[in-house]
Amino acid sequence: LAKTTQPISMDSYEGQEVNITCSHNNIATNDYITWYQQFPSQGPRFIIQGYKTKVTNEVASLFIPADRKSSTLSLPRVSLSDTAVYYCLVNNAGNMLTFGGGTRLMVKP
Amino acid sequence: NAGVTQTPKFQVLKTGQSMTLQCAQDMNHEYMSWYRQDPGMGLRLIHYSVGAGITDQGEVPNGYNVSRSTTEDFPLRLLSAAPSQTSVYFCASSYSGTGGQETQYFGPGTRLLVL
């Protein structure tokens, strides 16, 4: 299983853009990169998924370089409600998701 | 759709007691799984199922049993509760267990305290 490495915590202020980078050096050819968001006392929630280059949805953007050994989750203009833990995962066949410790994002007013 | 539902929301057990955590989904998903999350940690996979009648072990299966008699339900049984099983338990489901493009939907969790 590909292992991911991401910062333990990040601080930001309302209205700023936040970029969280994740390393996955052992990613396999058929693996996808998925980011989940988890608020306290709730289950994780899907944010975005990609295979290569750039993916954008109404919540975030995901940037994946050509070698796919890392990825960056970009949250535009964060608000206080974006304070959460963000997990970077690599999906392999069989869908056995491996969660690391995640990145605790604190958005300050 | 209710999505993924879990009961109970909170449970206190004494060491040695047994109990079943319930999980149900109404999305006709083939793949279901159970995770545990200890304070300040990420989720760890306990057991999973790729369809009715098929289950397999995840990363931390010891002390837990599962069965999958229907597509909708995937109960998790604690055989003899231990304080080390104090955790938050999440159930998840997705359309299939094949390929890397699946998105998993998580339930609200069950908080278990073993004294």
pLDDT tens digits for range A63-104: 999 999 999 999 999 999 999 999 998 876 555 677 778 999
Is residue A1 predicted with pLDDT exceeding 70? no
CB of B104 within 8 Å of any CB in chain A?
A: yes
Contact: B100, A93; criterion CB under 8 Å: yes
Q: Chain B residue with minimal CA distance to A104?
A: B40
pLDDT tens digits for range A29-69: 888 899 999 998 899 999 999 999 999 999 999 999 999 99
The phi-psi region of residue B99 (left if phi > 0; otherwise alpha if psi is between -120 and 50; otherwise beta) is left
Q: Cα–Cα distance between B74 and B70 in angstroms, integer?
A: 8
Q: Burial level of A77, CB count in 10 A (0-12/13-18/19+)?
A: exposed
Average pLDDT for A9-18? 97
Q: Cα–Cα distance between B45 and A92 in angstroms, integer?
A: 14
Q: Chain A residue with minimal CA distance to B46?
A: A96
pLDDT tens digits for range B12-22: 999 999 999 99
Q: How much helix, strand and coil, in percent to the nearest 5, is found in chain A?
A: 5, 50, 50
